[in-house]
Amino acid sequence: MIRLLLLLSLAGALGAQEITSKRLIEADREPHNWLTYARTYNAWRYSPLDKINRSNIQRLAPVWSFQTGDVEGGLQCTPLVADGVMYISTSWNRVYAIDAATGRKLWHYIYEKPKNLGVPFGPWNRGLALGYGLVFMGTLDNHLVALDAKTGREVWNVAIEDLAQCGCNITGAPLVVKDKVIVGVTGGEMAHRGYINAFDAKTGRHVWRFWTIPGPGEPGHETWEGDSWKFGGASTWMTGSYDPESNLVFWGVGNPAADFYGDDRKGANLYTDSVVALDADTGKLKWYYQQIPHDVWDWDSAYESVLLDLEHKGQKRKLLLNVNKGGYVFVVDRTDGKFVSAWPLVQNLNWIQGIDEQGRLIGRNEPALGKSSFICPSVGGGRSWNHGAYSPKTGWFYTTGIEWCQTVVPQKEEKVEGKQIMGGQFEFKPPPSGEAGGHLGAYDPITGKRHWIYRSKYPLLASALATGGDLVFTGDPEGEFFALDAATGKKLWSFMTGSGHRGSPVTYAVNGRQYIATPSGWGSALAGLLPQIWPEAEYFPSGSVIFAFALSEP
C-alpha cells in the first residue's frame, strides 16, 4: 500500500498523467486522489486511505487553509484532487487550483457572468468534474464551461438554454463519463421542463438530451394533465452515478412543479421523484423507478444514487440506494429498477403512513388547497442534499437526517414560463413531540437497521466522508468539523473552523502523507430558513475557506 502510494506520488511529481476514462472508471485504484464528485462512480464517498485512523486521530491538526473571499452562499463544493492539485469551485462560479500539500494557489478562473444576473436559487456551486486535461463547471446562467486544468484558461463554453427562458441553471457538479460530460439543471420550483444533457468533453458539442418529462407521443406523457408537462419542473440538480459494467448512468430527478398544488397536473407526473437509468452513449432510458407518484410535498429524488453489490435474502444483488427528500431511503435493483426495500431515515414523518412490500405509498396525507396542514419532515427534507457515505469495511451507510416539521398552505399560482411556481407557502416548525434537530447515523443499507446515531442540536447540512481508517467525518452549522468512530459513532476528534459546514469533505495523499480537507462556509437556501425554528441561526457567520488537516509529528 505504502509502496503503491509512493510510486503514484512519484508519478505525480514527474508530471501528472491526463485523466482518461479508464482512470475515472478505475478511480478506486488511486487512493491518493479524489477524481470525481463522489471519488468513485458508485457514489460511496469512501477512501481506503488509513494512515489517519482511530489510533492516531488525536494528532490530526490543520496544516493549511485557503480563503476564497467569496462568502455569499457559503462554500458548498466537493474539492477534487488529482496528483497533488486540488480544484475547488465557489459561489459566483469561481474556480481555484491549489497545491494540495501547501494550500498555495496555482491559478484561478473568474466566470464572466452577465450583468445583473437574476439568480433563481443562489450563487453557490457544488462541484467540478475533471477529464482529458480539462476542468468542467456548470454555471449560474446555465452554461457549461471547460477550463485548461494546467492554466485555468477557458477552452469552451456552451449556453444550454437562456436562464431568462427556463428559470433553470446549474449548481451541481457535472460527471465525466467516457468521452462525454453529463450535467443536470435546477428548476424544480420553476415553470419549465427539466432535462439532463451530455456534451462532447473535448469540443463542447451537444451529444444528447434526456427530457425528464416525456413529450407528446412518448411513454409517460399521459401521466401529465393538459399542458402541465411543459411547466412540470423535474429538475436534475445533483450529480448522478455510473456503472461501467452496464454502461448506465443513474440520475435522480426532482419534484414536479408546482410543489404543493397538484390539482392541475393530475397523474403520476413521470419522471419526477424518480431515479432514471440512461444509456451513457445515447441518453436513452433503460428503466426508471418512481418513488413518489404525483408528489405534492416537494420530495425530490435528486440526491445521490449509491451503487452497492450486496447479498440480499441469499442472493447477490446489484443495488442502487437513493435517499428521498421526504425522509425515506429507497433501494432498487439497478439492473431493472425493481423495488427492493424502503426505510425511514427520520422519526418525524407524517406525509404517509408507510410503504408496502411493492414500494407503494400507504396513507397519503396531502395538504389541501387554502388550508394549513402540518407536515413532517419540513420541505427542507428529512435530509438535505448533502451526501451520505458507504464504507465497505463496515458495510454501513452513513447519512444525516433532520427532525423538523412545517405548516404548509397550498395555493394556486399563475404559471409563467421560467418563473417560480411553488404552489404554496410553508413555515418550519419543531416536531409536535420532542425537539427539532439533526443526526448522523450508521445504517444497514437495505434494511435500514440503525447501528448508532450521533445527535446534534442543529441540522447537519454537510456531506459525510468515510475512510479506511474507520472514521466518519462531517461538520455542523456552528463550524465544528468532527470525526466519529465508524463502528460506534463515538466522537473522537473535532476542530472549530469558524463558519458552518455545507460542503463535502474529502481525503487524499501527497507524497505519502494523508490529508483530510473540508470546505467551511455557512450559506444556502436552507441556511436562510433555519431561523424559522432557531432564531439564533440568523447570525451564524458565513465564510468560504478550505481547511486541510494532517497528522502532526509524534
What are the residue numbers of the active site?
298
Question: CA-CA distances (angstroms) from residue 349 to 88, 104, 255, 401, 448?
Answer: 36, 46, 18, 12, 15
Q: Does residue 259 touch another protein according to CB under 8 A?
A: yes
Write out the H or E segment, with its range, that includes residue 166: helix 163-166
The DSSP output letter for 309 is: E
226 binds another protein (CB under 8 A): no
Minimal distance, residue 518 CB to another protein, in Å: 23
Neighbours of 45 (CB within 10 A): 30
- 411 lies in the site for another protein, by CB under 8 A: yes
Residues in contact with another protein, shown as a per-residue x/- string from 345 to 374 under the rule CB under 8 A:
------------------------xx----
Q: Any idea what the Cα angle at residue 104 is, between residues 101 and 105, rounded to 5°?
A: 125
In this structure, how many other beta carbons lie within 10 angstroms of the beta carbon of residue 50?
Answer: 17
- β-pair type (80-82, 85-90): antiparallel
CA–CA dist 554, 542 (Å, integer): 34
Residue 269 has phi, psi (to 5 degrees) of 60, 55
Measured from the CB atom, the residue of 46 and 426 that comes closer to another protein is: 426
Q: Which stretch binds another protein (CB under 8 A): 57-65, 174-182, 411-419, 466-474?
A: 411-419
| In contact, 477 and 457? CB cutoff 8 Å | no
Amino acid at 305: S
Q: Which listed residue (354, 432, 434, 528) binds another protein by CB under 8 A?
A: 528
Q: Which of 30, 70, 179, 189 binds another protein (CB under 8 A)?
A: 189
Question: What 3-state class would DSSP assign to 92?
Answer: helix
Assess 214 for contact with another protein (CB under 8 A): no
Q: Which stretch binds another protein (CB under 8 A): 16-24, 99-107, 204-212, 491-499?
A: 204-212
State the CB neighbour count (10 A cutoff) for residue 4.
12
Cβ neighbours for 333, distance < 8 A, ≥ 6 positions apart: 317, 318, 319, 320, 340
Nearer to another protein, 162 or 435 (CB): 162
Cα–Cα distance, 206 to 157 (Å, whole number): 11
Find the shortest distance in angstroms from Cβ 463 to another protein. Answer: 20
User: Could you say whether residue 10 binds another protein (CB under 8 A)?
Assistant: no
Cell of 358: 411493492
- Which cell is 322 given? 437513493
Query: What residues between 508 and 527 interact with another protein by CB under 8 A?
Result: 524-525
Contact map string, positions 136 to 175, toward another protein, x by CB under 8 A: -----------------xxxxxxxxxx-xxx---------
Which CB, 215 or 541, lies closer to another protein?
215
**Cβ closer to another protein: 414 or 553?**
414
Contact residue for another protein among 11, 25, 310, 409 (CB under 8 A): 409
CB nearer to another protein: give 26 or 427: 427
CB-CB contact of 121 with 529 (8 Å): no
Closer residue to another protein in complex, CB, 318/412: 412
Instruction: Catalog residues that contact another protein under the rule CB under 8 A.
Output: 113, 115-122, 153-162, 164-166, 189, 193, 203-206, 209, 211, 215, 259, 369-370, 407, 409, 411-414, 420, 422, 424-427, 524-525, 528-529, 531-532, 538
